[in-house]
Structure 1
Amino acid sequence: MVSKLLVFGGNGFLGKRICQEAVNNGFQVMSLSRSGRPPRPQSPQDKDWIGEVQWEAADVFDPLSYNRHLRDATDVVHSLGILLEDESYKVKVRNPLNKSFDFKSLMPSFGSNPLDKKNPNFTYERMNKESALILAQAFRQTLSSHEAKRRDMPTFTYISADKGFPLIPKGYINSKRQAEAELMHYEGLFRPILVRPGFMFDEYKTTADARSYVHNGLELLNCGNRVLLRNKLRFVNELIRPTISTQQVSRNIISKIKDPSFSGIVSLESMLSMN
């Protein structure tokens, strides 16, 4: 039996790499997003796996738009969320050539313009927490009527976060932790997999943007912490966290989905330690 993986936000920064890794591991993959469009290829290899994914449009807040896809899904991934709630938190990152970049480019992509203040869903509560719980409840209802047909317990993967970030409101990490706690209540119906990546970058990125500059800065700080402080100061270790590639995160997610004994939190340290 071929496993069917549904990735909500599968055309986003991390979501597309989850789709790619799942295809490479023999999953039947469907991406659901507001637009339903595939991502732009970033390398020649991308064209191959993109052609293997079924790209569909759906609204995570409206289960009627995707219930039919959940009925035969063995695994679901929630790869949606926001880092900032509105434009008042927007900052600029400048490179040595004085080119400015919008901080919103660091945020996950989930469809239409996330910085549209007319969008009532653009809050931590709605995007980071309620969207996941609505999806989990819809998945649970599907499982209750089809569980007899399933040999292995299905999985629900939630992309959470390692820590909060300086200058980012506490509501960001609080909404993530609240969603995690609620999802663990479903243990027994499906395996909750709660993934906590740090700042992510893509291994195939070839052009500089805001994310690239932030990534380089964080890597420099991490290097200094390792070489000069030898990671001995706990408060520094809590503040300066390692970065991780979307490919590493995706490999860990698929590995945990395929492990029938695993449920719970996937920490940043455990992901970095995986070969």
Structure 2
Amino acid sequence: MSSISQRGNERLLSEAAGTHSRDYKILVLGGNGYVGSHICKEALKQGFSVSSLSRSGRSSLHDSWVDDVTWHQGDLLSPDSLKPALEGITSVISCVGGFGSNSQMVRINGTANINAVNAAADQGVKRFVYISAADFGVINNLIRGYFEGKRATEAEILDKFGNRGTVLRPGFIHGTRQVGSIKLPLSLIGAPLEMVLKLFPKEVTKIPLIGPLLIPPVNVKSVAGTAVKAAVDPEFASGVIDVYRILQHGH
């Protein structure tokens, strides 16, 4: 192949990739949070149009990428506030979750996200991706409402979106977490644990009591990369994606 032909093919591929990127408009629910902000950055890096909805609206971060996101303020417990943000959206990625009393956790992790799933389905959104959480055995019982809400949302996604819905179940998510003006280097602990624990066979996580503690942590960038793939790639696996598959897809 001549260099001219090769350059022509590269240009066509580049234009095709650009068109593909412009075709996808991603709404990140909770895009100003720890995981959500990394998802916004990853989607922007890949050339997608990105917007976010959260109760506080615009991110408080001063990074340059913040200006490239369309920020919406709304509350998923008031479903009507979601409708304007869903206009023209192709894919939704939800990072919404939190802790509190059992009833609060069911509302935040369950009811709020279920409202979003139903609104997205009614709006004709093509794909829905949800950042859930791995099972931690007996720990689940200590924060029962958290997992009750998460699993209820998962069931709603699989019901409303079927093979167009993906649930990611990471364990401990490490990386650099911004809290006010302080950057918490969670990878100081998470990265070495990830390197060690991912060497163990997956079966060890099934050992009673101690097994769930051997679930490898995963870098927030791997979670973000996997979430964006799931949101834009119609060939990406639907259903529940565990930590080990996130590790594979995120690299």
Same fold (TM over 0.5): yes
Q: Please say if 1:249 is aligned against 2:223.
A: yes
* 1:72 alignment partner in structure 2: 88
Shift of 1:62: 1.6
Q: Mapping of 1:204-243 within 5 angstroms? A: 209=184, 212=186, 216-217=188-189, 233=204, 234-235=206-207, 236-243=210-217
Determine if contact 1:160/1:196 at 8 Å carries over to the other structure. yes
- Measured in 2, the distance between the counterparts of 1:195 and 1:173 equals 14
Determine if contact 2:26/2:50 at 8 Å carries over to the other structure. yes
- Measured in 2, the distance between the counterparts of 1:71 and 1:230 equals 44
- Measured in 2, the distance between the counterparts of 1:226 and 1:27 equals 31
SS of residue paired to 2:160: coil
Q: Which has the higher helix share?
A: 2
Determine if contact 2:121/2:161 at 8 Å carries over to the other structure. no
- Measured in 1, the distance between the counterparts of 2:46 and 2:74 equals 25
* 1:259 alignment partner in structure 2: 233
SS of residue paired to 2:216: coil
How has the CA–CA distance of structure 1 residues 203 and 184 changed in structure 2, closer, same or farther, with 3 Å as cutoff? Answer: same
Determine if contact 1:222/1:240 at 8 Å carries over to the other structure. no
- Measured in 2, the distance between the counterparts of 1:53 and 1:127 equals 24
- Measured in 2, the distance between the counterparts of 1:51 and 1:164 equals 38
* 1:200 alignment partner in structure 2: 173
Shift of 1:221: 5.8
TM-score norm. by structure 1 comes to 0.70
RMSD: 3.0
Q: Please say if 1:24 is aligned against 2:45.
A: yes
Aligned counterpart for 1:160 among listed residues 132, 135, 138: 132
Shift of 1:220: 5.9
- Measured in 1, the distance between the counterparts of 2:110 and 2:149 equals 6
* 1:146 alignment partner in structure 2: none
TM-score norm. by structure 2 comes to 0.76
Shift of 1:132: 1.0
How has the CA–CA distance of structure 1 residues 3 and 193 changed in structure 2, closer, same or farther, with 3 Å as cutoff? Answer: same
Shift of 1:178: 2.1
SS of residue paired to 2:100: coil
Aligned counterpart for 1:5 among listed residues 26, 41, 44: 26
How has the CA–CA distance of structure 1 residues 123 and 201 changed in structure 2, closer, same or farther, with 3 Å as cutoff? Answer: same
SS of residue paired to 1:14: helix
Show CA shifts across 1:66-112 (max 9, x none): 31221211011111101x314xxxxxxxxxxxxxxxxxxxxxxxxxx
Residue identity matched to 1:267: D
Q: Mapping of 1:108-187 within 5 angstroms? A: 123-143=104-124, 154-164=126-136, 166=139, 168-187=142-161
Sequence identity percentage: 29
* Contiguous gaps of at least 5 residues in structure 2: 1-21
- Measured in 2, the distance between the counterparts of 1:79 and 1:204 equals 15
Determine if contact 1:160/1:195 at 8 Å carries over to the other structure. yes
How has the CA–CA distance of structure 1 residues 223 and 192 changed in structure 2, closer, same or farther, with 3 Å as cutoff? Answer: closer
